[in-house]
Amino acid sequence: MLLWINGPFGGGKTQTAHEIRRRLPGSVVCDPEQPGFGLHRMLPPELRGDFQDFKAWRQGVVEVLDLTLTRREGVVIAPMTVTDPGHFAETVGRLRELGHDVRHFTLLAERETVLRRLRERGLGHLIGGGLRRESWAVERLDHCLERLTEPEFAEHLWTDHSTVPKTADRIAVLAGLTLRPNHEGRLRTRLRQAGVGLRHIRLG
């Protein structure tokens, strides 16, 4: 089974993916952003746009996820924002055509909630970056929220008043999965999530 976790940038996809992996034995996170940033690094800065526009990204993501789903046991989790219907069809849709059990979830939140999460993401609010470090995500926010509420991007989960562990629990129930109980205290959870955020800071 593939869990594709969609949502706006800063919507909690990566944190939720790693929460599920932590509590679901045998699961693995396969991050489709990784080949995208690799493609970006091949280009001079002035030519870098949305890496999802590269056919190579869409085909590569499908090839890698297909290989992983075919060759290993366990649930595969892919946290990735996709708002273009064509790109969605060429990734999520194509994996379904290949016969894989793909469960797609979109994490949604009110605009101010996402902006607050972007401010707090990683150490941006401590090292002086603030929203400047997330300017691209902010520029795309309204578009993401508008597109992702469309029926084709269901199942929708609103997360304004939900913690990451509770969102992971909701996804597991909807996907028919059983997570290990969450016995972490609040402080340990915050420290672990900060570590996840640090590992996913993009510097360029």
Q: At what angle do helices 13-23 and 164-175 cross, to 10 degrees?
A: 70
Distance between CA atoms of 56 and 39, rounded to whole angstroms?
A: 9
Percent of the chain past pLDDT 70, that is, above it, reads 89
Domains of the chain by range and CATH?
2-199 (3.40.50.300)
Q: Is 42 exposed, middle or buried (0-12, 13-18, 19+ CB in 10 A)?
A: exposed
Region 178-191 average pLDDT: 84
Order of strands, sheet of 2-6, starting from the edge strand that comes earlier in the sequence: 28-29, 76-79, 2-6, 102-108, 156-158
Give the pLDDT confidence of 68-81 residue by residue, as tens digits. Answer: 999 999 999 999 99
Pairing of strands 2-6, 156-158: unpaired
pLDDT at 134: 64
pLDDT category of residue 196 using cuts at 50, 70 and 90: confident
What is the 3-state secondary structure of 69-99? HHHCCCCEEEECCCCCHHHHHHHHHHHHHCC
Higher per-residue pLDDT: 197 or 186: 186
Residue type, 27: S
